[in-house]
Amino acid sequence: MQDPLISIITPFKNTEAYLADCIQSILEQTYTNWELLIVDDSSTDESYKIVNAFAETDSRIKLFKNHGNGIIDALQLAFKHSKGDFITRMDSDDIMLPNKLEVLLQHLIANGKKHVAIGLVEYFSETGVGEGYKSYETWLNNLTKMGNNYSEIYKECVIPSPCWMAFRSDFIACDAFNPNIYPEDYDLTFRFYKNQIKCIPCNEILHKWRDYSTRTSRTHVHYAQNHFTELKTHHFLDIDYNTTKKLIIWGAGTKGKLIAKILIEQNIPFEWICDNPKKIGKAIYGKEMKNFDALSKIKNPQSIITVANKTAQLEIRSYLETLNMEPVQDYIFFC
C-alpha cells in the first residue's frame, strides 16, 4: 500500500486560542497524504474564521458546520465525509509531534488489520500540569509501552482519544461514533476491546495533550464520573459478565451504589460486601451489606471492586490472590 490517505477527524468549539497551533502541527507532519475533516460545533468565538483561513490555502483541510448538537454529531459528520483508508482523531486544542501520523501508519501497516496504533502522550499547560493528570499520563503511557492497555480498561479510558489510528474497515466494524453514548472516547475504547482490536505497543511520545481550566474533560457533564461508571457497567455486562457466576459488588461508596442501582433496575442478582464496620449488616436498596470475608464462602463469584483507596486496593488484590482468583474472570477493579 503506497501513500494511503489518512482521515483526521477533529471537532472544535470555541478553541480560537489554540486552533492555529493545532492545525500548524498537522501541516508540519512528515507524512503528507492526509485530509483534515474539521467540524465547527456551534462556536461563538473566532474559531470558524481561523480554520477557514487555513482551509482556503490548503485543499486537504475540509471545514464543516455541525448541523446536529454536540461532539458525537460532529464526529459522525466528519466521518461521513471522510475518504481515508485509515482513521484517526485530533483534538482542536492539542499539538501533534511531527512524526505522529507517520509512526502510527507504519505500525498499522506492519501489524495489519484488527490492530489499533497508539502513541505516548504528554500533558502540557501554561499554568503547570496537576498531579492527577501527570499520574494519569504515567499510568496510560506505561500501558501503551507494553500494549496491554485493555488489562485495566475498567479503571479509566486506556486509549488516548486524540492519539490512535485504525483501519477504516475495523473502525466501521466497531460501529464507532454511531451510538449516542458519552464519554464517546471511552465508549470507542470498549468497542475496540469488544471487537478484539489489539493495541500496538509504542515507546514514542507522539501527542502533546493541552490542559487548561475550560477543557471539555474538566467541565462537561458527560465527563462526570457517574457517566464513567454507567458506561463501564454497561460494557461489563455486555462483554465480561459471566452469567454462570455469582456477581459481587465490593464497596458501598458512590460508585458501588450506582452499580447496585443499575443491577437492580435490570433484575440482575448480586451480593454486596464491604469492609466498613458502619455499613456491614445494614440494608441498602434492600440488599444486606456483608463483611468482605463472605466472599470466601460464595461459590463461583465474579467481583466488581469499587474501592478507590490505592492502599486498600493492594490489600484487596492480595486477599483475592489467596483465594486463587484471576483478574477479569473472577474480579475487576472499577477504580
Which domains are present in the chain?
Answer: 6-223 (3.90.550.10), 226-333 (3.40.50.720)
Position 216 confidence tier, pLDDT thresholds 50, 70, 90: low
Q: Which of 114-123, 175-184, 202-211, 320-329 has the lowest mean pLDDT?
A: 175-184
State residue 217's pLDDT score.
47
Task: Please give the C-alpha separations between residue 153 and each of 41, 60, 140, in angstroms, as whole numbers.
Answer: 29, 35, 10
Residue 1 has pLDDT above 70, yes or no: no
pLDDT tens column, 81-100? 999 999 999 999 999 999 99
Q: What is the C-alpha to C-alpha distance for residues 78 and 65, in angstroms, rounded to an integer?
A: 10
What band does 129 get if pLDDT is binned at 50, 70 and 90?
Answer: confident
Give residue 179's pLDDT: 77
Indicate if the pLDDT at residue 128 is higher than 70. Answer: yes
The whole-chain average pLDDT of the chain stands at 94
Assign 271 a pLDDT band (cuts: 50, 70, 90). very high
pLDDT of residue 222: 43
pLDDT confidence of residue 243: 97
**Which pTM value belongs to this model?**
0.93
Q: Label residue 219 by pLDDT band (50, 70, 90).
A: very low
pLDDT range class, residue 226, cuts 50, 70, 90: low
pLDDT at 288 over 80: yes
